[in-house]
Structure 1
Amino acid sequence: MKPPEPGTVPVPLDGMRVLQVVATTTGGTGAHVGMLVDHLLARGGDVIVCGPQSVDAQFHFRTRGAGFVPAQIGLQPHPRDIATLRRLRRLAVLADVVHAHSLRAAALAGLVTPRQVPFVVTRHNAIISTGVGRRVQLGLQRHTARRADVTLCVSSDLVDAVRRAGGTDVRRAFVTAPTMPAPGRSRDAVRDELGARERPLVLAIGRLHGQKDYPTLIAAASRLADMDPAPLVVIAGDGPERAALTALIARTAAPVRLLGERSDIADLLHAADVQVLASVWEGTPLSVQEGLSAGLPFVGTRVGSIPDIVADAGLLVPPHDVRALAVQLRRVLTDTRL
């Protein structure tokens, strides 16, 4: 059994046992699984999520009404994968559909899911690593592309990559951001908190990870320091690059603040003058959709699905291009015709 093509009558879900398998995530993948859980439960599905305890703590699958079975599925192979495979096997044999998210989760789930159980994989990220890590991930991509009954991809370049790897039923998935709540504080109150009452405020949202290429954004922010008043760039999010980025900001005296994890994204979007994204690759980032819905100007890189999402509602530049990013940010902040 395969998921219906767009435009066909949905498969009834009453009593359907759906196993969602997710690896370590703190961003859009977890949010997407949460939306799927809500949708499946609303249509009568019986949903179990299997993944790291930290993912449930952030995305509240049990609170939403799903079952949750903890299993350590990290980003790298680990001896504990043996125990994870045993746990996944016990769950998969009872499922009507198994849906795995990310290469690692798909590789493990694919090994133990019975062939008679439909196996769906959603690819949320491209392979951007180098060296040995890249070769390993390309191997996982070939394995999961050929093992999956259906592969859903969040960008057209991922669709092409999975098809080249041997996928036979590969479809584009469109992930839509949920409705953003109304701001809880005034624009001035948020800007006062950030120290930007009289300064242009540039907002970036996302995990502090190499994929986001914050060093390029920090370098671009330094090029805007001659403006009067100088813009303040704030980054909402946390992650493994925090220490390195903190040191870089201090060393370059760039007008950038790391805000850490924030629960008031609606307030930040309401307070900002422009949203920026310097990523080397993106699927369908929910934060960009939220910013555009809030009417915020956008400057970002021409990668992944960003051109499809933004269309003519923003200014796009090549990745890793400090000068181009600074020029377009300056343009948005100074050109009243935009």
Structure 2
Amino acid sequence: MNEQQRQHEQQQRHQQHDDTRQKSAVTVIGLGPMGRAMTRALLAAGHPVTVWNRTAGRADGVVAEGAVLAATPGEAVGASDLVLLSLTDYPAMYDVLDGAAASLAGRTLVNLSSDTPDRTRAAASWAAGHGAAFLTGGVMVPAPMVGTEAGFVYYSGPAEVLESHRATLALLGSPNHLGEDPGLAQMMYQAQLTVFLSTLSALMHATAMLGTAGMPAARTLPELLSFTDSIGAMLRAGEAAPGAALDAGEHPGALSTVTMMGATSDHIVETSTSLGLDLALPLAVQAHYRRAIENGHGGDNWTRIIDSIRKP
């Protein structure tokens, strides 16, 4: 290597060092797949990252990539103004941070764990009581998509807190602020997962149904997934788009009615019964339509089933 090359490499190292110093420090507590993915996204962008996990061995990979393993939660919190939590649930936050409460003042806690909106609101009050700002976050992609263009995260809590850390949080996924209520992001997360989990159960029920006729899952699932892809297009199209009508309390039955959809749900229950399949899902769906019919709404659009969901 000649002198010019050595000088160039030295300048690059100095530049990388300066860039790292200019990036704000971030702490990540909880190193499951999601926590490790967030840590790697932050490291890749040049942020100094301190990590802590109850099982310290989970940190080995990210430490090898440049993260610093804190010995205690208090040490981890004290290392950064921005602290990201990726834990099993909100009670885990108290388990981890109760002993580090003295370090919370002036920090921003961003809890990306899943729980109920009410527990989220209580956690925001708890954080405020210790002098910390608090954001609720819901990561809406699996760990491998964190930090990619496909990643997005719902947030709720003080807008100014999100704005002050937007550039850093955007490294995890596009930030979408829903409002000041700390429970909103958690509510959106639960709503999205309601659709997701229900769809997964429906896909498995349909796969089991077709399997009784000898169709292998390798052939069945592509057909089913193609149909689920088209549902969004159907519900966004012109007159069929139900959002505005739902907000107005209107359920026009020109295109599809509760009675028509209810008859289909009856057939699904009958078929599933004859095949010896579990009936939990089809019976639940059937119940929505039967209640709407019993309440005199058979001629309304299928969206009328929302009434008994709102007030069972």
Q: Give the alignment's TM-score, normalised by structure 1.
A: 0.37
Instruction: Choose between structure 1 and 2 for higher RCO, CA contacts under 8 A separated by at least 6 residues.
Output: 1
Structure whose CA Rg is larger = 2
Determine which structure has the larger helix proportion and give its number: 2
